[in-house]
Amino acid sequence: MNDVTYEEAYKNVVIKIYRDDDSQSPEEWQDENLFLVAYHRDFTVDKKISQGLAQCITNNGKYEDDSINDEARQYIKDYYIFGLEAYIHSGISLSLSREGNFPDRNWDVSQLGVVLVSKEEAKTRKEAQKLAKGLIKTWNEYLSGNVYGYVIEDKDGEHLDSCWGFYGDYEENALKEARTIAEVSNKELEKKLKADKLDTKQRLDNKNMMDSTLGDMLQSKSETIKRHALGILKAL
């Protein structure tokens, strides 16, 4: 596990935020309603659609010779299609085509694929564009390693709860949920501490009662009672 990114004490528990180095690529989500495909030597996502089919989709469902590709036409019918570009320079940053605010569009920006949003998922192109941008934002968080998880421990370092796979700023995602879960964990700890305290008090009261009873027995004039008290003390 990596070094702690952030840590805070929350009542009787401790919240620790870590980078999630085993985070899942959005490509693995297998979402048929919202996904992207890309074809570049530095960034390729092609499990759903081949490069040739994607080119036909962006060419209005046609091959280069203007013959019809029926499969591409079906995608155009069923999905809103958005071009995908990437700024590739010491890393990869994605954007919808012509919308990326990149420093050098002439050299380091490539048009490399498409984003597809099902028309069952979005009723208008504007709504589909919003979903497409949300997917790209998630991809960029993943590509930049901006994915986190939290661990909740008691003050002795005992693991209480954890969750991983929060994409984006940990303060807006992982930490907010961690605080909610920490509140639950804290209440459970308080119940346990209260129960332990009552149990300790009960055991102490029982001991004091026994000590008092044994003291009375040892002061008894009856030798039988005294011997019985001594037998109890030896057993203890």
**Helix ranges (DSSP H) in the chain:** 51-58, 70-78, 125-143, 174-218, 223-235
Please report, as a single letter, which amino acid is at residue 216: D
Q: d(Cα 116, Cα 76) in Å, to the nearest integer?
A: 9
**Predicted model pTM:** 0.75
What is the pLDDT, as a whole number, of residue 190?
Answer: 61
pLDDT of residue 205: 45
Q: How many CB atoms lie within 10 A of CB 78?
A: 13
Lowest mean pLDDT among 47-56, 100-109, 151-160, 161-170: 100-109
In whole numbers, what is the pLDDT of the chain averaged over residues? 84
Q: Quote the pLDDT of residue 70.
A: 96
* pLDDT classification of 201: cutoffs 50, 70, 90: very low
Instruction: Please give the backbone phi and psi of residue 10, each rounded to the nearest 5 degrees, phi first.
Output: -130, 95
What is the model's pLDDT at position 80? 97
Region 119-132 average pLDDT: 96
pLDDT in tens, 143-200: 999 999 999 998 889 898 999 999 999 999 999 999 988 888 777 766 665 654 544 5
Helix or strand (DSSP H, E) at 110: strand 109-118
pLDDT tens, residue by residue, 28-38: 988 999 999 99
Please give the backbone phi and psi of residue 118, each rounded to the nearest 5 degrees, phi first.
Answer: -60, 140
Least confident of 29-43, 82-96, 104-118, 218-232: 218-232
Q: Sheet harboring 6-10: ordered strands across?
A: 6-10, 13-19, 147-154, 159-167
Confidence of residue 231 (pLDDT cuts 50, 70, 90): low
Which pLDDT score, from 0 to 100, does residue 131 have?
Answer: 97
